[in-house]
Structure 1
Amino acid sequence: MASTAQLLGHLASSTATASLSFTPVSGGGSSSKVRFLPATAQRRRMVARPRAAVSGAEKEKAKPAESGGKEDERVVQVHSAEEFDSALQKAKNRLVVVEFAASHSVNSKRIYPCMVDLSRTCGDVDFLLVMGDESEATRELCQREGITQVPHFSFYKGTEKVHEEEGIGPDQLAGDVLYYGDNHAGVVQLHSRTDVEALMAEHSGEGGKLLVLDVGLKHCGPCVKVYPTVVKLSRSMADTAVFARMNGDENDACMQFLKDMEVVEVPTFLFIRDAKIVGRYVGSGKGELIGEILRYQGVRVTY
Structure 2
Amino acid sequence: MATITNFLSRSPSSLSTFPKIDPACFQPASFIVSSFTKRRPPPTRLGISRTKFVTEATAVPTTRKVESDERVQQVHSIKEFDEALRAAKNRLVVVEYAASHSYQSSRIYPFMVDLSRTCSDVVFLLVMGDESEETKELCKREKIDKVPHFSFYKSMEKIHEEEGIGPDQLMGDVLYYGDNHSAVVQLHSRDDVEKLIGEHKADHKLIVLDVGLKHCGPCVKVYPTVLKLSRQMADTVVFARMNGDENDSCMQFLKDMDVIEVPTFLFIRDGDICGRYVGSGKGELIGEILRYQGVRVT
Normalising by structure 2, we get a TM-score of: 0.83
* 4+ aligned runs moved over 3 Å, structure 1: 22-28, 58-65, 69-73
Letter of the 1:271 counterpart = F
Offset from partner CA, 1:258-281 (integer Å, 9 cap, x none)? 011110000000000011111000
**Match of residue 74, structure 1, among 71, 75, 84:** 71
Letter of the 1:32 counterpart = P
**Match of residue 33, structure 1, among 44, 52, 55:** 44
Letter of the 1:181 counterpart = G
Offset from partner CA, 1:116-140 (integer Å, 9 cap, x none)? 0000000000000000000000001
Contact 1:71 / 1:116 at 8 angstroms: preserved in 2? Answer: no
1:50-89 aligned at under 5 Å gives the runs 62-63=56-57, 71-89=68-86
Structure 2 gap ranges (5+)? 1-25, 60-65
**Match of residue 272, structure 2, among 248, 273, 276:** 276
Residue 213 of structure 1 aligns to a residue in which SS?
strand
Whole-Å separation in 2 of the counterparts to 1:27 and 1:36: 26
Q: Does 1:208 align with 2:219?
A: no
Contact 1:111 / 1:169 at 8 angstroms: preserved in 2? Answer: yes
Q: Does 1:253 align with 2:264?
A: no
Offset from partner CA, 1:158-214 (integer Å, 9 cap, x none)? 011111011111111011000000112110000000000000000113x32000000
Letter of the 1:62 counterpart = E
The alpha-carbon deviation at position 148 of structure 1 amounts to: 1.5
Offset from partner CA, 1:220-242 (integer Å, 9 cap, x none)? 00000000000000011111100
**Match of residue 238, structure 2, among 221, 239, 242:** 242
In the alignment, what sits opposite 1:9?
A: none
Offset from partner CA, 1:104-157 (integer Å, 9 cap, x none)? 111111000000000000000000000000000000111111111111000000
Q: Structure 1 262/59 Cα, relative in aligned 2: closer, same or farther at 3 Å?
A: closer
Residue 123 of structure 1 aligns to a residue in which SS?
coil
Percent identity of the aligned residues? Answer: 72
Letter of the 1:126 counterpart = V
1:110-189 aligned at under 5 Å gives the runs 110-189=107-186
Q: Does 1:194 align with 2:191?
A: yes
Whole-Å separation in 2 of the counterparts to 1:168 and 1:70: 22
Residue 299 of structure 1 aligns to a residue in which SS?
coil
Q: Does 1:226 align with 2:222?
A: yes
Whole-Å separation in 1 of the counterparts to 2:159 and 2:39: 18
The alpha-carbon deviation at position 289 of structure 1 amounts to: 0.3
Contact 2:57 / 2:107 at 8 angstroms: preserved in 1? Answer: no
In the alignment, what sits opposite 1:99?
A: 96
Q: Structure 1 255/60 Cα, relative in aligned 2: closer, same or farther at 3 Å?
A: closer
Residue 174 of structure 2 aligns to a residue in which SS?
helix
In the alignment, what sits opposite 1:301?
A: 297
The alpha-carbon deviation at position 21 of structure 1 amounts to: 1.0
Residue 68 of structure 2 aligns to a residue in which SS?
helix
Letter of the 2:239 counterpart = F
Contact 2:209 / 2:266 at 8 angstroms: preserved in 1? Answer: yes
Contact 2:47 / 2:101 at 8 angstroms: preserved in 1? Answer: no
Contact 2:47 / 2:130 at 8 angstroms: preserved in 1? Answer: yes
Contact 2:75 / 2:125 at 8 angstroms: preserved in 1? Answer: yes
Q: Size of the alignment, in residue pairs?
A: 263
**Match of residue 290, structure 1, among 282, 286, 293:** 286
Letter of the 2:226 counterpart = V
The alpha-carbon deviation at position 22 of structure 1 amounts to: 4.7
Contact 1:64 / 1:108 at 8 angstroms: preserved in 2? Answer: no
